[in-house]
């Protein structure tokens, strides 16, 4: 619920600017950031926004094309190419709960009668975005039409319970897919994905709210998703696939997805989450990777107008979750700090707006890391690195949310060739995506100043890479815990099945040496050099706190690990449990056990691979 999101996010925004989310904010002094093209991760689909609710209002403004240019144009704007269109439910005309901007018209205000002239303003903005280059579209719903609901209102049920009438699940599915079909056949918009859900497990969707909202418990989520998928198939809408679960919290999204039947899981092609809450990004990434789903952050917003909180969240979501698209909630909002633009969004036709800094910060990413770029390895937790082999361009986006400047030396030595200069663009308290003087690149390195409270983008042309990708199967590593500086060790140098895994002082023993053996889909078996046995979660447990052991290869998912870039180190995510390799209680003592635990971004869950051969 967006109103509650503002209360929660706004209350903490001021404390997020430095060192938030477990990412280390850059500090005074200097450091080196090394890009690693041998580690290539997801391909970016794009950056975007939802049209709810601003499109419903701005689409009627006399300067609506100006808004569209600044959001979607790659030349005069920030080039957002992903757009989420809200299929309105349409409120009971006898009720007056909805705020003006949130009263999105539905297409079936009367049962059985479609009105294809409805929602003209939001539809205009959708087409304007497409004209300017937007090319990825998703349709989503906040509520079924009021006459399908138990409460007779799109605002929710009394007490925040399920609000869709039990005999209207097929009708709701038919409504959504009929709208999708009309957009395709009559208006030239093919939605890549469709979801009937929006933060469905949340209980704040209660009768009398000022916006549309509909609670679905997890069993009912499964039912409506099954109905929508069947309706898509029945109508031949093969170009539109199912997405879910759209929970407020990344943790809840993982739980909801795991609750679905195998048939519904199979039907979902894109796993969507909002990232207003939750910490276990590793589990979400593991679900997507293990099940072959495309992961999206389909909604995020905050009240920090500077954009620094948003930038930190982008770093975390792109790097830790492996998402291919990142969508900000509202490009235009009436609340301070929330939108890229601030506008009253009421009935007064006040068309003027205030530009927040976060508009330019979004541009630091969206104008330069374009669709088709690959996210690559980067040793600096403050920098996102993306490479496009087709255009031979490397993009680095560095966030310094500290109050002091920092000197950063960028090491590009792992590339085959690099250009001789880096174009630089900075957003700070005094700069709005300002182009700076080019920085000289010499011997595949350059040094630049990361200004206090800023986001800077560097674009290096003529960059090539002809080396291999992934971890070489012949390489031997030690795994050094970032928190303790100790290495992962098979206790007592045992060669027996079930021997425990601990951390210990590096003594050069082969029981502290490991190989990463590819297991497919980005997963690896981690094999001990001394015993030839594999890093294993005991008894295939999915419980936090379970000890890690070594065991003979049995093909189990509990022996497969997903390395996730944590900025110079890795989080090792178990495929079976979705939990991470963790030094128990963040101990710094030799002999402390290594267990599995939910991702909390702690340094005791981060391991540096040091090649020893």
Q: Which of 45, 91, 138, 299 is catalytic?
A: 299
Q: Which of 45, 91, 138, 199 is catalytic?
A: 199
pLDDT at 33: 97
pLDDT at 28: 53
To the query of whether residue 199 is one of the catalytic residues in this protein, the response is: yes
- Tell which residue, 52, 141, 140, 60, has the closest CA to residue 101: 52
Q: Inform me whether the pLDDT recorded for 426 exceeds 50.
A: yes
- Tell which residue, 260, 180, 170, has the closest CA to residue 221: 260
Of the residues 368, 395, 418, the one at which a domain ends: 368
Once rounded to an integer, what is the mean pLDDT over residues 519-538? 97
pLDDT at 450: 97
Burial 197-215 (b: 16+ CB within 10 A, else e): bbbbbbeebbbebbbbbbb
Q: Inform me whether the pLDDT recorded for 442 exceeds 50.
A: yes
Q: Inform me whether the pLDDT recorded for 6 exceeds 60.
A: no
Residue 251 is part of a domain; what is its CATH number? 3.20.20.80
User: What span, in angstroms and rounded, lies between the C-alpha atoms of 556 and 577?
Assistant: 11
Distance of CA 558 to the CA centre of its chain: 25
In DSSP notation, 105-128 reads: PBS-SBTTB--TTTTHHHHHHHHH
26: containing domain: 1-44+373-470
Once rounded to an integer, what is the mean pLDDT over residues 201-217? 98
- Tell which residue, 75, 114, 31, has the closest CA to residue 449: 31
Identify any residues that bridge with 223 across adjacent strands, giving them in sequence order.
none
Whether 460 and 520 map to the same domain: the answer is no
Q: Inform me whether the pLDDT recorded for 23 exceeds 70.
A: no
Share of the chain above pLDDT 70, in %: 95
CB atoms within 10 A of CB 365: 25
Whether 244 and 393 map to the same domain: the answer is no
- Tell which residue, 208, 276, 286, 281, has the closest CA to residue 247: 276
Whether 486 and 436 map to the same domain: the answer is no
pLDDT at 154: 98
What is the DSSP code (8-state) at residue 510?
A: G
In terms of pLDDT, which residue wins out, 568 or 22?
A: 568
At 457, the pLDDT band (50, 70, 90 cuts) reads very high
Whether 464 and 541 map to the same domain: the answer is no
Once rounded to an integer, what is the mean pLDDT over residues 508-513? 98
Whether 128 and 10 map to the same domain: the answer is no
pLDDT tens per residue, range 593-605: 999 999 999 999 9
pLDDT at 7: 40
Residue 579 is part of a domain; what is its CATH number? 2.80.10.50
Share of the chain above pLDDT 90, in %: 95
Residue 401 is part of a domain; what is its CATH number? 2.60.40.1180
Cis status, amide bond into 53, omega within 30 of 0: yes
Whether 519 and 564 map to the same domain: the answer is yes
Whether 122 and 109 map to the same domain: the answer is yes
Whether 445 and 481 map to the same domain: the answer is no
Whether 426 and 485 map to the same domain: the answer is no
Q: Inform me whether the pLDDT recorded for 541 exceeds 60.
A: yes
Whether 482 and 403 map to the same domain: the answer is no
Of the residues 434, 455, 470, the one at which a domain ends: 470
120 Cβ neighbours under 8 A, 6+ residues apart: 59, 60
At 29, the pLDDT band (50, 70, 90 cuts) reads confident
Q: How many domains does the chain have?
A: 3
For the chain, the average pLDDT equals 95
The model's pTM: 0.95
Of the residues 314, 338, 368, the one at which a domain ends: 368
At 366, the pLDDT band (50, 70, 90 cuts) reads very high
Whether 38 and 151 map to the same domain: the answer is no
User: What span, in angstroms and rounded, lies between the C-alpha atoms of 125 and 152?
Assistant: 30
To the query of whether residue 212 is one of the catalytic residues in this protein, the response is: no
pLDDT tens per residue, range 371-383: 999 999 999 999 9
pLDDT at 344: 98
Whether 253 and 114 map to the same domain: the answer is yes
Once rounded to an integer, what is the mean pLDDT over residues 26-45? 89
């Amino acid at each position: 619920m967006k109103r509650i999101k503002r209360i929660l996010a706004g209350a903490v925004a001021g404390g997020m600017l430095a060192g938030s989310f477990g990412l280390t904010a850059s500090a005074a002094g200097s450091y080196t950031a090394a890009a690693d093209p041998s580690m290539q991760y997801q391909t970016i689909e794009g950056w975007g926004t939802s049209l709810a609710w601003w499109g419903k209002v701005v689409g009627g403004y006399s300067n609506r094309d100006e808004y569209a240019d600044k959001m979607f144009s790659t030349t005069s704007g920030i080039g957002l190419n992903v757009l989420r269109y809200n299929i309105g439910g349409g409120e009971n005309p006898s009720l007056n709960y909805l705020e003006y901007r949130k009263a999105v018209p539905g297409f079936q205000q009367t049962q059985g009668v479609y009105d294809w002239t409805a929602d003209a303003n939001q539809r205009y903005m959708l087409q304007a975005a497409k004209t300017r280059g937007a090319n990825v579209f998703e349709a989503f719903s906040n509520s079924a039409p009021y006459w399908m609901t138990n409460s007779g209102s799109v605002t929710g049920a009394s007490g925040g319970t399920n609000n869709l009438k039990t005999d209207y699940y097929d009708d709701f599915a038919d409504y959504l897919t009929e709208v999708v079909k009309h957009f395709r056949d009559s208006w030239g918009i093919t939605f890549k994905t469709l979801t009937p859900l929006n933060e469905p497990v949340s209980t704040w969707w209660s009768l009398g709210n000022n916006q549309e909202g509909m609670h679905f418990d997890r069993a009912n989520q499964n039912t409506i998703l099954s109905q929508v998928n069947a309706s898509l198939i029945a109508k031949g809408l093969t170009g539109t696939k199912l997405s879910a679960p759209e929970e407020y919290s990344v943790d809840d999204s993982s739980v909801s997805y795991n609750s679905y039947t195998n048939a519904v899981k199979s039907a979902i092609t894109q796993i969507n989450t909002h990232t207003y809450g939750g910490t276990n990004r590793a589990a979400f990434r593991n679900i997507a990777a293990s099940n072959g789903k495309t992961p999206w952050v389909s909604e995020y917003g905050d009240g920090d107008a500077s954009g620094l909180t948003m930038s930190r969240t982008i770093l975390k979501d792109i790097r830790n979750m492996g998402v291919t698209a990142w969508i900000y909630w509202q490009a235009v909002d009436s609340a301070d700090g929330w939108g890229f633009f601030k506008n009253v969004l009421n009935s007064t036709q006040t068309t003027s707006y205030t530009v927040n800094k976060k508009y330019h910060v979004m541009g630091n990413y969206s104008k330069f890391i374009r669709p088709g770029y690959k996210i690559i390895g980067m040793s600096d937790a403050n920098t996102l690195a993306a490479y496009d082999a087709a255009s031979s361009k490397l993009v680095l986006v560095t966030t310094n949310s500290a109050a002091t400047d920092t000197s950063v030396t960028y090491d590009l030595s792992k590339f085959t060739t690099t250009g001789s200069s880096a174009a630089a663009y900075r957003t700070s308290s005094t700069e709005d995506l300002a182009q700076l003087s080019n920085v000289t690149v010499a011997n595949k390195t350059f040094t630049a100043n990361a200004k206090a409270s800023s986001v800077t983008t560097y674009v290096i042309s003529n960059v090539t890479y002809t080396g291999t990708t992934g971890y070489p199967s012949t390489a031997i590593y030690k795994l050094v815990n970032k928190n303790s500086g100790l290495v992962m060790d098979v206790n007592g140098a045992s060669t027996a099945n079930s021997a425990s895994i601990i951390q210990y002082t590096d003594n050069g023993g082969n029981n502290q040496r490991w190989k990463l053996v590819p297991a497919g889909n980005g997963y690896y078996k981690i094999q001990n050099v001394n015993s030839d046995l594999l890093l294993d979660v005991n008894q295939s447990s999915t419980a936090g706190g379970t000890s890690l052991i070594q065991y003979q290869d049995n093909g189990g998912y509990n022996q497969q690990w997903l390395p996730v870039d944590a900025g110079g180190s890795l989080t090792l995510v178990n495929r079976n449990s979705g939990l991470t390799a963790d030094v128990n209680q963040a101990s710094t003592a030799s002999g402390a056990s290594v267990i599995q635990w939910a991702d909390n971004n702690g340094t005791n869950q981060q391991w540096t691979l040091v090649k020893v051969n």
